[in-house]
Amino acid sequence: MLLGLTGGRLLPSPRRCLLHCRHIKSAATAASGVGDGVLSAFRSICGEEGVSLGEAVREQHGKDESVHRCRPPDVVVFPRCVEEVSALAKVCHKHRLPIIPFGTGTGLEGGVGAVKGGVCFSLRNMEQVLDLHPEDFDVTVEPGVTRKALNAYLRDTGLWFPVDPGADASLCGMAATSASGTNAVRYGTMRENVMNLEVVLADGSIVHTAGKGRRPRKTSAGYNLTNLFVGSEGTLGIITKTTLRLYGIPEAMVSAVCSFPSVQAAVDSTVQTLQAGVPIARIEFLDDVMIDACNRFSSLSYPVTPTLFLEFHGSEQSLQEQVKTAEDITQSNGGSDFQWARDTETRNRLWKARHDAWYAALALRPGCKAYSTDVCVPLSRLPQIIVETKEDLIENRLTGPIAGHVGDGNFHCLMVVDPNNPEEMHRVHLFTERLARRALAMDGTCTGEHGVGLGKRALLCEEMGPVGIQVMRSLKDTLDPNNLMNPGKILQREEP
């Protein structure tokens, strides 16, 4: 198993030469996958510069930040408005060409790989922030607008969009994968914060999932189409606009770090803090392996034991209350003294360890790649699953520091693995399956925030059960009978 290998490199061994040849062959046949008539139709819709057959461009649009190898599309188109998206989709529909929507390529599950070739719709030229209504706390954005760009735009309105998956992802892409982040415990995930979507379906028709331009804070009107498309990962339609719920920027923020003697103590503190009604904004767990990696990478000196990173948002008075309550709880669970910070610079220093976790994990074994698992279980089962997972890691001699959004019961093992060691790759693969099944056995899910993409289709079947999968398949067949929308993701193709 070779990870992340993009073609075009001259490699010595025979097996790798074969891969190289396969790449050359695929480049030669790529253009023939899409006929000249279709290409000129594309060009007449989005202009000459809006259609690209270049190898580098196609490769760039065939991979994301996961470990899945690059699967380039046959052609990349760059529409500038929803009418162009619709026209392009109609052409693809007529010629039965697969359609793969592309935002920023920051996904973690291989969702943009063109497994059957086809047309990648790169939506980065649609980058307007439309319709901001500060009094109503909502804004509508196009797919090219990323999370950080939106928050920069909003900075002088006093509002922000708090869903923070780490990467500077496209907001419509975040809607497509139902992204979440470190703030979810207080502000929710995309499912709670998307109010309306404009979606182009496989046949080019444009649907507004809550009605055109509508943005009531709540509704009981008809089927919940908005949340049907949130998390559909491009398999039901192309999201071209999303209306988002905004929040006021907190008056003040306080961050804190607390070390615990055991995983159980750390998670118990989390549960008790939530039960005490503290509206904590971020509560992140790092296990001892992770803390050790962070200490080395960022030259810090946290005690090498399970640690919680906390952040509180609110007014000055409410912060005092929140911090006091949280401190009492952590002390009662054997936590060390709260190290806390109020001003921006110190807070950033405190959080640096958590933010650099990915790189710190990679630095543990230079030359290796990292893969993040992503399971989510009910809070009460979290201590058990983390303890069992750590035992599994030790038993199988795997490097897997753990970082988690424990407020949601979601944690990630950052598996650091040598891509040139197939035996280790195999062990990692089996480990991730065991982990997912462990989570499913505890009433949880195999993917808390990253999505199903390519790698978790079989696990989705186990999670949903046959009837659930059948309902999903029926919806897919209704909205996309020719299976043109991002084929090969979420649902496995039925064997005829």
Partner 1 sequence: MSGRVLVGVKRVIDYAVKIRVKPDNTGVVTDGVKHSMNPFCEIAVEEAVKLKEKKLIKEVVAVSCGPQQSQETIRTALAMGADRGIHVDVSGKDYENLGPLQVSKILAALAKQEDAQLILLGKQAIDDDCNQTGQMTAALLDWPQGTFASEVSLEGDKINLVREIDGGLEHIKINTPAVITADLRLNTPRYATLPNIMDSLMNNETELHKPNHRTSLCVGLIPLFETVAPEDMQGGTDRSGAMLRHTVLQSGLGLHTRSLVVFSIGIGKNKTKLGTV
Binding region for partner 1 (CB under 8 A) out of 242-250, 280-288, 391-399, 466-474: 242-250
- Residue 248 found at the interface with partner 1 (CB under 8 A): yes
Amino acid at 270: T
- Residue 81 found at the interface with partner 1 (CB under 8 A): no
- Residue 153 found at the interface with partner 1 (CB under 8 A): yes
Select 171 or 436, whichever has its Cβ closest to partner 1: 171
- Residue 49 found at the interface with partner 1 (CB under 8 A): no
Reported as half-sphere exposure (CB side, CA atoms, 13 A), residue 348 has a value of 3
- Residue 279 found at the interface with partner 1 (CB under 8 A): no
- Residue 409 found at the interface with partner 1 (CB under 8 A): no
Select 155 or 212, whichever has its Cβ closest to partner 1: 155
Q: Residue 473's closest CA among 453, 450, 493, 455?
A: 493
The DSSP secondary-structure symbol of 69 reads P
Residue 129 tokens, joined: 């922030």
Q: Which long-range contacts does 319-325 make (Cβ < 8 Å, 24+ apart)?
A: 319/252, 319/253, 319/254, 322/254, 322/278, 322/279, 322/280, 323/254, 323/256, 325/273, 325/276, 325/278
Q: Which of 22, 35, 44, 251 binds partner 1 (CB under 8 A)?
A: 251
List Cβ neighbours of 397 (8 Å cut-off, separation of 6 or more).
427
Shortest spacing between CB 134 and partner 1, in angstroms: 9
Site for partner 1 in 331-360 (CB under 8 A): 344-345
Binding region for partner 1 (CB under 8 A) out of 36-44, 152-160, 168-176, 466-474: 152-160
- Residue 249 found at the interface with partner 1 (CB under 8 A): yes
Q: Which of 2, 17, 130, 152 binds partner 1 (CB under 8 A)?
A: 152
Shortest spacing between CB 135 and partner 1, in angstroms: 10
- Residue 468 found at the interface with partner 1 (CB under 8 A): no
Shortest spacing between CB 155 and partner 1, in angstroms: 5
Shortest spacing between CB 234 and partner 1, in angstroms: 27
Q: Which of 36, 48, 156, 494 binds partner 1 (CB under 8 A)?
A: 156
User: What are the C-alpha distances in Å from 3 to residues 263, 378, 412, 413?
Assistant: 32, 32, 20, 18
Q: Residue 305's closest CA among 285, 325, 291?
A: 291
Shortest spacing between CB 101 and partner 1, in angstroms: 23
Residue 291 tokens, joined: 């803390």
Q: Is residue 158 within 8 Å of 127, Cβ to Cβ? A: no
Reported as half-sphere exposure (CB side, CA atoms, 13 A), residue 404 has a value of 34
Binding region for partner 1 (CB under 8 A) out of 37-45, 202-210, 244-252, 382-390: 244-252
Reported as half-sphere exposure (CB side, CA atoms, 13 A), residue 415 has a value of 27
Site for partner 1 in 122-151 (CB under 8 A): 149
- Residue 158 found at the interface with partner 1 (CB under 8 A): yes
Q: Which of 87, 159, 403, 406 binds partner 1 (CB under 8 A)?
A: 159
Shortest spacing between CB 279 and partner 1, in angstroms: 16
List Cβ neighbours of 209 (8 Å cut-off, separation of 6 or more).
196, 197, 198, 199, 225, 226, 228, 229
Q: Residue 371's closest CA among 195, 155, 120, 110?
A: 110
Binders of partner 1: how many residues, by CB under 8 A?
15
Binding region for partner 1 (CB under 8 A) out of 99-107, 195-203, 249-257, 298-306: 249-257
Residue 86 tokens, joined: 């619709």
Select 248 or 468, whichever has its Cβ closest to partner 1: 248
Amino acid at 439: A
Binding region for partner 1 (CB under 8 A) out of 157-165, 178-186, 203-211, 452-460: 157-165
The footprint of partner 1 (CB under 8 A) covers: 149, 152-153, 155-160, 248-251, 344-345
